[in-house]
Structure 1
Amino acid sequence: MKRPSPASSDVARPRRSPRLPVAGLVAVGVATGLVAGGVSGFAVARTTPFAGSCSTVVLAESAAPAVVTVFAEGRTGPDGLAFGGSGSGAILTPDGRIVTNDHVIAGASRLAVLLATGERLDATLVGTDAKTDLAVLQIEATGLPTLAIGDRTAPRVGQQVVALGAPLGLSETVTAGIVSTPHRDVVAPVGGGGTTVLAGMVQTDASINPGNSGGPLVDCSGDLIGINTVISTVPSASGEGGGGSVGLGFAVPASTVRRITDQIVADGRATHPWFGLSYAVVPPGAAQARGVSSALFVSSVAAGGPAARAGVRGGDLIAGIAGGPADSFTIGRLLATAAVGDEVVLDLLREGQPQQVTVTLAEAP
């Protein structure tokens, strides 16, 4: 895959949805030696039977014109060879503002989009946010069809949705399914090693494949409720992940799409909160010996940072975060969804004595 939400008196407690492990997650962009033009028209694949009044055909006809194929060219691979890639995107404004995934365009020296009309246009990069795996592009155009960001209400389990994009370079492909769960926390690998938390992702069984990255997941009103980003695959006998859909796709939720794209458009970048401390996970047995189910050892505190200002010290044990458990996943999810200025209550153990502090999150340096 590729990359990539809080708790306290001010910050809502993180939803403890089951987390999906790193293994088997892949990004859904397409890398190619030479990227050809898209295929005109759209194909509709119904992967999950469902009843109701939502017409996939009508929805596809209304939403597909606002979906584009994104071409990222001029990248250089580890072997020094140049290559291109493609993904998908959604048009947000009539004058050509487009949202896609950061991993679709990362490292490209040239960007272009293919409209549903078949017209190919150069695109410029407005800004990216690697933490949420979102990017905003701009093309020179007017009067374009658009998708509204549907963040007025949260998606519901069982809600009918369609995923649109260009899997394997096949532009204007539409697949249908449902929302499997509206709040799935995904631990995903990032470039250069390590992991990140993609919090509150919308899980769907609509078929998503390489090339769908950056394309919209829309509801029966035709509103964008997510940006398709990552899929889970079944590992092969050798332990390597497969490359196609098994009905486990994940989309960045509409609320995150709106927040991050608005910040990028206004400032050219997105801001994320910061605790200002380093920590190590305390082994479960050692934590339980101190009377808590889990704990984090504070190895250092940034001078003048949020934790230091709240009174956190190196050597403290964090025994609880905003009323929830103290583990690296909780911190990752909180930082993925909280905002600068939010307050987070930490339960500490200092020399065996319980203390409680309130950390006001600051912008990450």
Structure 2
Amino acid sequence: MSDEHRFDEQPPEHTPPTEEQAAPRADEASTAPADAQALPAEEPTQPIAGWRPSGDQPQGESYKRPAEESASVERDEPGPPPYGSTYGEQPRADDALRPPPSGRQPVQQAPDTLAFGPGQHPGPPPGRPGQPQGPGWFGPGQRPYPPVDHYRQPPARKVALWVWPAVAALALVVGVLGGLAGGALQDQLSTPRGTNDNGLGGVRTQTAAPLDADNGSVPAVAQALLPSTVQIVAEFDGQAAGATGSGFVLDREGHVVTNNHVVASAAEDDGPIVVIDHEGERHDATVVGRSAVYDLAVLEVDGGQGLEPAALGASKALHVGDSVIAFGAPLGLSQTVTSGIVSALDRPVTTSGESDDESSYINAVQTDAAINPGNSGGPLVNLAGEVVGVNSAIATNGSASGEAGNIGVGFAIPIEQVVTTVDQILRTGKAEYPVIGAQVRTGGEPTAQGATITEVMPDTPAERAGLLKDDVITAVDDQPVNDGIALIVAIRTHRPGETVEMSVLRGGDEQVVEVELDGKVG
């Protein structure tokens, strides 16, 4: 077998020797070693480990692998097959029991599972005591290179000392940021929220008037609007059903509009609020948001999606003398209808509260339609069946209050202001009103002299506009101002962020200043 034979080549097919080939010649027998003549006839003729067919190697000295073969093993390249192995020939069953010939080493037969192809490392062969172990070596004697442990794990790397402080600092930063985010989320969740981010634009309101404007029929208006009118019963000062009022259905999502003073006590005490529809069915309700300044509130009614919404009109289209109809539950009498006319427009009215922020200033629609306690929050409707105002107060001897009966002077919040405030409440759960940052005198003024400023707060729109104490404001844009209440009402018909022109008397001279309105929640 040639030293140039490779593992990836096919071994030559074994052919049994002929009789002439098997019979040794006389000259060969004379030169053969004595031990070879004593071999049995059936012994295979393959070379055995430790024997070299050359006369320059002393017999009995261990065979040394040439440098080329050792190098090929170390480079993991294919080399000559190990001595003692046989290609294409299986060992016989009795070979393991056959004693080795005298003076010879037993053949180291490689198992079939160790016959790897080129470039592969054979695993360690199953060994016997006293025999060398190690991959890729099956010959006698010591293996020519140290054993390679292919299964040894690499030593674990040591972590640099600076890593642990960095990890601790990162954990601290993440903890702080997480705490801040959690606090912001808690604040956001605790802040009152509306029910629709798009306000009135995100709910299904009634856009078409139910009747023709010139129909002139109060009964037709009553039949169209009674299904949209509700009675409200709420807790007052801890007494269940202590407050009664009215309201109207705003949209098909079950929102109802009413006065703030009807549900304010129940909202502060988290008391029960019940809405009774036109069929007498009772529904629980919760407050979405409310404004004490504009005396308006929005309720969300459980199961109110089936209620019929009312159509919204425009108070700016009204004229003094136009017919109007008031709906509500005066004195607890549900589904009551009264009719009258528009007595006046843009009437400044205030209902005093415990503080200025709780006082309601209304640029009201005045009517002689009968309005009594219990009508509060109900709709004031034109002959087309559109809501033009929300009934809020009645005049008594010396004040605007809901404690006395009707004397023919009632007031309703214009629907334009209702739309503005309700839109804010639906979006955010609260409403803002405009301020200038100045105090004005609200009583004891000479008539037709305007509103006198008594104090200007620092860093406010009034100070930035150059207004001073004792200035007298006589008009806001084109609307005349006769007193302090008229000034407040004129300002509150605008929105925060808008700029208005004010006519100011100072030392007998009149000038016009521009004031950018600030906003305040209330």
User: What is the TM-score of this pair, normalised by structure 2?
Assistant: 0.52
CA contact (8 A) 2:310 2:386 kept: yes
Name the structure with the higher helix share.
Answer: 2
Cα distance between partner residues in 1 of 2:379 and 2:503:
40
CA change 1:93–1:360 in 2 (3 A) is same
CA contact (8 A) 2:393 2:402 kept: no
Counterpart of 2:452, as a letter, is L
Q: What SS class does the counterpart of residue 84 from structure 1 fall into?
A: strand
Runs of 4+ in 1 over 6 A off after TM superposition: 281-285, 349-354
Give 1:124's match in structure 2, choosing from 265, 286, 292.
Answer: 286
CA change 1:202–1:349 in 2 (3 A) is closer
Residue matched to 2:409:
248
Residue matched to 1:269:
430
Q: Does 1:203 align with 2:366?
A: yes
Cα displacement (A) at 1:119 = 1.0
Q: What SS class does the counterpart of residue 136 from structure 1 fall into?
A: strand
Q: CA deviation digits over 1:286-305, x for unaligned, max 9?
A: x9xxxx94562443x33322
Q: Does 1:310 align with 2:468?
A: no
Number of aligned residues: 299
Q: CA deviation digits over 1:70-103, x for unaligned, max 9?
A: 0112533xxxx77621100100111210000001
Cα displacement (A) at 1:200 = 2.7
Q: Does 1:56 align with 2:218?
A: yes
- Cα RMSD over matched residues? 3.2
Give 2:516's match in structure 1, choosing from 351, 360, 364.
Answer: 360
Higher radius of gyration, 1 or 2: 2
CA contact (8 A) 1:66 1:91 kept: yes
Q: What SS class does the counterpart of residue 265 from structure 1 fall into?
A: helix
CA change 1:230–1:360 in 2 (3 A) is same
Higher relative contact order (CA 8 A, sep 6+): 1
Cα distance between partner residues in 1 of 2:458 and 2:300:
40
Residue matched to 2:420:
259
Q: What SS class does the counterpart of residue 244 from structure 2 fall into?
A: strand
Cα distance between partner residues in 1 of 2:335 and 2:262:
17
- Identity percentage of aligned residues: 38
Q: Does 1:65 align with 2:227?
A: yes
CA change 1:319–1:200 in 2 (3 A) is closer
Runs of 5+ in structure 1 lacking a partner? 1-51
| 1:225-236 alignment runs, 5 A limit | 225-234=388-397
Cα distance between partner residues in 2 of 1:270 and 1:209:
27
| 1:129-148 alignment runs, 5 A limit | 129-141=291-303, 142-148=305-311
CA change 1:348–1:119 in 2 (3 A) is closer
CA contact (8 A) 2:236 2:242 kept: yes
Q: What SS class does the counterpart of residue 261 from structure 2 fall into?
A: helix
Cα distance between partner residues in 1 of 2:277 and 2:426:
21
| 1:1-365 alignment runs, 5 A limit | 53-73=215-235, 75-76=237-238, 84-108=242-266, 109-141=271-303, 142-151=305-314, 153-191=316-354, 196=359, 198-234=361-397, 243-280=404-441, 293=449, 296-299=452-455, 301-313=456-468, 315=469, 317-322=471-476, 324-325=480-481, 327-347=483-503, 356-364=512-520
User: What is the TM-score of this pair, normalised by structure 1?
Assistant: 0.72
CA contact (8 A) 1:75 1:84 kept: yes
Q: CA deviation digits over 1:123-174, x for unaligned, max 9?
A: 0101111111111001123232110111275222222221111111111111
Name the structure with the higher strand share.
Answer: 1
CA change 1:305–1:246 in 2 (3 A) is same
CA contact (8 A) 2:247 2:328 kept: yes
Counterpart of 1:308, as a letter, is E
